[in-house]
Amino acid sequence: MANSATAGGFLLVLAIVLPVMGALLSLTLGGRHAERIALILMPVGLTVAVAIAAVVWRAHNVLQYFVGSWDPPLGVAFRADGLSAAMIVTAALLISGIGLFARAQFPAQGGAKARAPLVFWTLLLMVWGALNAVFIGGDLFNLYVALELLTFAAVPLVSLDGRAETFAAALRYLLFALLGSILYLLGTGLLYGAYGTLDIALLSGRIHAGPVAWAAVSLMTAGLLAKAALYPLHLWLPPAHAGAPAPASAILSGLVVKAPFFLVVRLWFDVMPGLPEHAAAQVLGGLGAAAIIFGSILALRQARLKLLIAYSTVAQIGYLFLMFPLAVRPETGHPWATAAWTGGVLQAVSHAFAKAAMFMAAGLIAEALGHDRIAGLAGIGRALPITVFAFGLGGLSLMGLPPSGGFVAKAMLLTAAVAENQWWWAVVVLAGGVLAGGYVFLVLARALADAGEPLTLLSTISRSRQAVVVVLALCAVLLGFVPLRPSELLQIGRPGLPIAVFR
Amino acid sequence: MAFDTGLAVLVLGVAVWTITARDTFAAVVGFVAFGLLLALVWVRLAAPDVALTEAAIGSGVTGGLLLGAHTHLRRTETAAAGELPGAALRLAAAVLCAMVSAGLAAIVLLLPEPAPTLAPQVAANIATTGLGNPVTAVLMAYRAVDTLLETVVLLLALLGIWSLAPDRVWGGFPGPHHDADPQGVLTFAAQLLVPVGILVGVHIIWDGSVAPGGEFQAATILAAMWILAAMVGLVDAPPVSRRWLRILLVAGPAVFFAIGLAGFAMAGAFLAYPPPYAKLLILTIEIPLTLSIAATLALLVAGPPERAPQR
Amino acid sequence: MSLGLDVLTILAVCAGAFFFLAGTVGLLRFPDALCRLHALTKADNLGLGLIVLGLLFQVEGPFAALKLISVWLLTLLAGATVTQLIARTARPGGTPE
Amino acid sequence: MSSPTLYGLCGAVLVGLGLFGLIVHPQPLRKIVAFNLIGGGVFLLFGVVARRGAAAGFGGDPVPQALVITGLVVAFAATALAVALLLRLFHETGRATLRSDG
């Protein structure tokens, strides 16, 4: 039972412990030091994330670690496979970018104005720790605690500005998230009652199709869909993500919404490999398609830029769930070998970068103009060319035009739809792309329109902040050069392959 | 068996009353009664630790919090009454919830009667943790990472509440200033009850490693005593910006992390305890953890800063 | 010997239960708040005292007995305090609730 | 019908009741009370699973009991945050309902 602390295992623990201890330290030291602690931790956390990905890639196997050297089912296990490694690196990159962007908006200061900086930087680190805990958690209840950590770190971000309508948005978000968590917990309880363990690897061996398993998985999926704001449970998302300050919106839309999606993937592909029926997957795909259509249409009708981007998030989340009908029971081979598996994950990653860049660009525009009404955007293209260019790059990825990560993701979903001869998903993907094009060009047309006399900006936006936004948007575009075939990294450590245990 | 049926019916009756009561005050009072009855159910389910937690946190502190909130929101009672959803929605919701309950009830009947259990493994490994109480062994040793993350969740909820304060009172005193007349009945009761409560709390921590009890229950009792003293004005919440308060709040999780990381060197894994010192290490974690959780729970009830600090 | 103790316990607990019943009937029947408080606290405290007395015969050690008695004393303290507070607010002359 | 099963059915009904209360009541405070009711029901199901797993000299399986203790504390933190948000919303807008804006 001796659990030699392998290099890999230590890294997994660091991925969670570092951000959380940093947050505790910044809570103790106060607003003056919170920013410095966060900025010191970002490169360290990035190297830990890249190191985890390297170890997983070199070993070509799951990196497993038993906490307290207790073997499951008694103890809790951390597991990092290819999928979690990709998400951990994405989270580290994005949070570092958002941190650099947010320095101007939440400068380090003591005294009366210290509330927002202290709360933002502490919550930023907590969100990071919670995300890493979700990505490498191997035990269903440990994942519940990680989800709660994520929810409690995300809700205060919504009402950070202290405006009245953000409190209502934060309260609605909290109620939806709590209902989701309690349904997830109920499903976990049923699984423990039936199979006597909460460890994902052990469960996948013991679980068999039956009413208890169906009830548990459907409850847990319903709970996670409420937290991931999939249509029709998306009501809380637009006011919450639009009301939050720009860097907070970027984290919420880019990363926090992806964690429940990640757990639905864990649930359907790891806890119950090969068991979910086609009908259930079609329902999930149908909800995704509805999210794409309604989200995009609602986005087209928005008057404010941040609300438009928030509804675009609701739509893009729909794409993520198209992965299930195409990959749950493929015609040939394993689910993770299908193009839909890589397409879905790539959509999550590219959407994270693109949406973060768009929200930050919208934040800069709102800061410069003093408002974010789309009708009043005329001339901003001339005043803030770099920001609008970054917004366009992000839009590129949302529309799925080459060369962008969004294009590759949607192309793989299309090929998977054709391969699985479920052509209707292809129609939805294309329609979504056209609608996304609609609302992106709507904004760009207004922004690039000539405003007659030159625009007077309320405050000058420093080039460095705009550069960060462009870099993130470029990351979304660079993902477009990923080869158009199922990626090898994402197939590491799938249940079918034998797990070489790193004790 | 008759007692169980009676208790279950009573619990359901109070729960139905809590949901269908017209007035929010009646609902909150019903909820407190529901919580205490649920504690009794936990005793019947042979889970004294959980009964303690349910009574202390589930109905006690939560009930107090909800009552406090209701006194503020009483004026909005009539305004909101007009917004009750129409009969159609209520019927649809009732049907949906009835189906959920029926489905769950069927699942409960389907679950295996002698359920698969980890009790044997817990019993087999409990010697290395040096603890007598199996639940504390699970909380502090086998699944220590869940307990650690959960205390961080508590701290995060507190930071979330503090972040709601307007900027002008940031760093100030949380919650309104309470003052009761020094000769009043409540003051007398508080002066008598607080020492007894602290004694009971300390007993529960110390006893927690062997008998039912533990840091969460003890912390709740200590927090309740602090809230009672604050209600009477004997003590006032320190300003949020005080450094020692933040250190006290963070001490519990910080010690937990430190000993957990030390586990790498001493026992080969994060949060692993070398068998000979296991009980000592767990106790050194539990004491600061209880104080931190007690302070966090008390400040969670006190609420965001409301009175500006004398800067 | 134990039979005698059992009989005593049953008698005491039944008496206690009766007083609880009386208190509840008082709560339901009495017209205004003060009478109800009066009925409730008097009957319930006495009822609890009798039940604790009844259980004392079954208890296995002095510490458990002390715990039972302390339960009763704490309930007395809490009951009396809360009754005073409610009475103060519910008193016709006092501040209306 | 053993007593744990009885309490399991009681927990199932509690979950349904709480869900009904959460959907129907407009005031957020009533929604929070209903949410705690659902929590009580879910934890009761954990308790029934624990009781049925009694073995090795314990009255019940200690693992689900520990999970319930953790869950209770997290549920309290959630209630505290929700109540604080609600009170702050009330102080800012004078209204305590979520249907204020569309």
Q: Do B95 and B131 belong to one domain? A: no
Give me the domains of chain D, ranges plus CATH numbers: 3-100 (1.10.287.3510)
Residues of A with CB below 8 A from D49's CB?
189, 192-193
pLDDT of res. A253: 93
Asked if the structure places residue C97 within a domain, the reply is no
Residues of A with CB below 8 A from D101's CB?
165, 168, 239
pLDDT at A5 over 50: no
Taking the CA of residue C77 and the nearest CA in chain B, the distance in Å comes to: 7
Asked if the structure places residue C7 within a domain, the reply is yes
Asked if the structure places residue C10 within a domain, the reply is yes
pLDDT of res. D93: 84
Cβ within 8 Å of B, D 22-81: 23-27, 29-30, 32-34, 36-37, 40, 43-45, 47-63, 65-70, 72-81
B172, B240 in Cβ contact below 8 A?
yes
Q: What is the pLDDT of residues D60-74, one digit of tens each?
A: 899 999 999 999 999
E strand map for chain B:
173-174, 305-307
**Band of the pLDDT at A60, cuts 50, 70, 90?**
confident
For chain A, the 3-state helix, strand and coil shares in percent, each to the nearest 5, are 75, 5, 25
Q: What is the pLDDT of residues C1-33, one digit of tens each?
A: 678 888 988 999 999 999 988 888 888 888 887
Phi and psi torsions of C31, nearest 5°: -70, -55
Residue with tokens 């061996």: A205
Q: Do B163 and B64 belong to one domain? A: no
pLDDT of res. A501: 41
Q: Which of B60, B77, B94 is the last residue of a domain?
A: B77
Provide the residue type at C49 as one letter.
G
Q: Do B135 and B105 belong to one domain? A: no
State the SS3 of A24-92: HHHHHHCHHHHHHHHHHHHHHHHHHHHHHHHHHHHHCCCEEEEHHHCCCCCCCEEEECHHHHHHHHHHH
B269 closest CB neighbour out of A69, A112, A160 = A69
B146, D71 in Cβ contact below 8 A?
no
State the SS3 of chain D: CCHHHHHHHHHHHHHHHHHHHHHHCCCHHHHHHHHHHHHHHHHHHHHHHHHHCCCCCCCCCHHHHHHHHHHHHHHHHHHHHHHHHHHHHHHHHCCCCHHHCC
pLDDT of res. A369: 87
Provide the residue type at A242 as one letter.
A
Asked if the structure places residue C42 within a domain, the reply is yes
* CB contact (8 A) between residue D81 and residue A155: yes
Dig out the tokens for A231 from the structure: 């249509």
Q: What is the pLDDT of residues B20-43, one digit of tens each?
A: 988 889 999 999 999 999 999 999
Which of A175, A190, A191, A219 to probe the D interface (max D CBs under 10 A)?
A175
Mean pLDDT across A318-339: 80
* CB contact (8 A) between residue C77 and residue B193: yes
pLDDT of res. A371: 85
Which of D24, D74, D76, D88 to probe the A interface (max A CBs under 10 A)?
D74
- pLDDT > 70: what percent of chain D? 96
pLDDT at C93 over 70: no
* CB contact (8 A) between residue B149 and residue A215: no
Q: Does B199 touch chain C (CB under 8 A)?
A: no
Q: Do B222 and B172 belong to one domain? A: yes
The count of domains in chain B is: 3
Distance in angstroms (rounded) separating the CA atoms of residues A158 and D85: 11
Strands B173-174 and A63-66: unpaired
Dig out the tokens for B156 from the structure: 């995060």
> Which pTM value belongs to this model?
0.93
pLDDT of res. A503: 35
pLDDT of res. B275: 86
Asked if the structure places residue C96 within a domain, the reply is no
Q: Find how far residue A360's CA is from the centre of its chain.
A: 16
Q: Do B100 and B40 belong to one domain? A: no
**Band of the pLDDT at B82, cuts 50, 70, 90?**
low
pLDDT of res. D99: 65
Name every residue whose Cβ is closer than 8 Å to that of residue C32 and which is 6 or more positions away in sequence: C90
Residue C83 is part of which domain span? 2-90
Q: Which residue has the higher pLDDT, D32 or A491?
A: D32
**Band of the pLDDT at D18, cuts 50, 70, 90?**
very high
Q: Which residue has the higher pLDDT, B210 or C93?
A: B210
A397, A355 in Cβ contact below 8 A?
no
D61, B57 in Cβ contact below 8 A?
no
- pLDDT > 90: what percent of chain A? 55
B108 closest CB neighbour out of D12, D33, D95 = D12
Distance in angstroms (rounded) separating the CA atoms of residues B256 and B262: 10
Burial pattern A119-140, b for ≥16 Cβ within 10 A else e, equals bbbbbbbbbbbbbbbbbbbbbb
Taking the CA of residue B81 and the nearest CA in chain C, the distance in Å comes to: 21
Residues of D with CB below 8 A from B300's CB?
76-77, 80
Q: Do B175 and B44 belong to one domain? A: no
Q: Do B230 and B213 belong to one domain? A: yes
8-state DSSP, A199: B
- Average pLDDT of every residue of chain A: 88
Chains D and C touch (3+ CB pairs under 8 A): no
Q: What is the pLDDT of residues A436-450, one digit of tens each?
A: 999 999 999 988 888
Mean pLDDT across A338-358: 90
Residue B99 is part of which domain span? 85-116
Q: Do B105 and B178 belong to one domain? A: no
Q: Do B228 and B278 belong to one domain? A: yes
Distance in angstroms (rounded) separating the CA atoms of residues B103 and A187: 12
pLDDT at A289 over 90: yes
Residue with tokens 């860049």: A357
pLDDT of res. A2: 36
Q: Do B111 and B121 belong to one domain? A: no
pLDDT at A3 over 70: no
The count of domains in chain C is: 1
Within 10 Å of residue C25's Cβ, how many Cβ atoms?
12
Asked if the structure places residue C72 within a domain, the reply is yes
pLDDT of res. B94: 92
Beta bridge partners of B174: B305
pLDDT of res. B238: 83
D100 closest CB neighbour out of A168, A181, A190 = A168
pLDDT of res. A498: 40
Nearest residue in chain D measured CA to CA from A173: D82
